[in-house]
């Protein structure tokens, strides 16, 4: 089905956040693109798309340059540029709709499975958060670009990287950092 052709004007860069962390992420990251946002126009109904889902918070539609037939994009109707800027009050609904969309896409395309991807700034062709849902089939020829892999040179290097991420995570959720001497090695933590 085609999106409506409503003539409603859209403020493409109205970043109104309901979540403190999302607001903070915008203030500390160089992610505020001023590129025109075609996804905001689709969300507002002023640009057409082959929609597969629409509600007050999200729109899902066929990608115009699909990896495979049935490649769907899901966006929030509110302009949110990156995953970390998705307001917490939308996160549960984002998860619910994306799970249903994954099932519907696989069933509707008779796919064996699917690939879900969110690009954050790098490789994000439109500066609006969007989930790619790509139907997959065995031996479909798609080779993932998640390589070459670069293993850690030692458990100490891995532990240092894990600790740096842990400290940032604890800062974001308001917890005290764990003292380095209480963490143990990478292999001890995995067991």
Residues 154-182: b if buried by 16+ CB within 10 A, e if exposed: eeeebbeeeeeeeeeeeeeeeeeeeeeee
127 inside domain: yes
Give the span between the Cα atoms of 91 and 82, in whole angstroms: 13
Question: In angstroms, rounded to a whole number, what is the distance separating the alpha carbons of residues 135 and 125?
Answer: 20
We report the CATH number of the domain holding residue 68 as: 3.30.428.10
d(CA 56, CA 183): 45
User: Do 176 and 106 share a structural domain?
Assistant: no
Q: Are residues 87 and 25 both part of a single domain?
A: yes
pTM score of the predicted model: 0.69
pLDDT at 28: 36
98 and 167: one domain?
A: no
> What pLDDT is recorded for position 156?
94
Question: When comparing pLDDT for 99 and 172, which is higher?
Answer: 99
Structural domain contains residue 6: no
User: Is the confidence at residue 182, as pLDDT, over 60?
Assistant: no
Q: Is residue 46 part of a domain?
A: yes
DSSP element (H, E) containing 75: strand 72-76
SS3 label, residue 140: coil
| Same domain membership, residue 126 and residue 90 | yes
Hey, is 126 helix, strand or coil? coil
Number of domains in the chain: 2
pLDDT exceeds 50 at position 69: yes
C-alpha to C-alpha distance for 45 and 35, rounded to whole angstroms? 19
Residues 83 and 167 in one domain: no
- Is there a domain that residue 10 lies in? no
Q: How confident is the model at residue 163 (pLDDT cuts 50, 70, 90)?
A: very high
**Do 71 and 105 belong together in one domain?**
yes
Residues of the domain holding 36: 20-136
Q: Are residues 69 and 111 in the same domain?
A: yes
**2 is a domain residue:** no
Residue pair 105/111 in contact (Cβ under 8 Å)? The answer is: yes
Q: Do 53 and 131 have their domain in common?
A: yes
In this structure, are 112 and 159 located in the same domain? Answer: no
Residue 35 in domain: yes
Residue 165 belongs to a domain: yes
- Contact predicate 33/75, CB 8 Å: no
The residue ranking higher by pLDDT, 27 or 156, is 156
Judgement on whether residues 124 and 70 belong to the same structural domain of the protein: yes
Render pLDDT for 24-40 as a digit per residue (tens, 0 to 9): 334 434 455 566 688 99
Residue 80's CB is within 10 A of a number of other CB atoms, namely 23
Higher per-residue pLDDT: 180 or 71: 71
Does the CA dihedral 76-24-13-65 come out positive or negative? negative
91 in the same domain as 166 = no
Same domain, 39 and 102: yes
Identify whether 74 is part of a domain.
yes
């Amino acid at each position: 089905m085609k999106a409506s052709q409503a003539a409603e004007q859209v403020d493409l860069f109205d970043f109104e956040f309901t979540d403190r962390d999302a607001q903070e992420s915008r203030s500390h990251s160089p992610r505020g693109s001023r590129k025109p946002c075609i996804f905001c126009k689709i969300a507002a109904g002023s640009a057409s798309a082959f929609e597969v889902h629409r509600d007050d918070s999200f729109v899902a539609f066929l990608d115009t340059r699909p990896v495979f037939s049935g490649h769907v994009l899901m966006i929030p109707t509110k302009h949110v540029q990156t995953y970390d800027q998705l307001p917490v009050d939308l996160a549960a609904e984002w998860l619910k709709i994306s799970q249903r969309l994954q099932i519907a896409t696989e069933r509707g395309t008779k796919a064996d499975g699917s690939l879900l991807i969110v690009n954050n700034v790098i490789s994000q062709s439109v500066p609006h958060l969007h989930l790619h849902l790509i139907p997959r089939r065995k031996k479909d020829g798609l080779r993932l670009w998640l390589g070459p892999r670069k293993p850690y040179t030692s458990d100490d290097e891995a532990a240092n990287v894990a600790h740096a991420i842990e400290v940032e995570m604890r800062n974001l959720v308001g917890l005290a950092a764990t003292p380095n001497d209480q963490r143990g090695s990478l292999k001890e933590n995995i067991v």
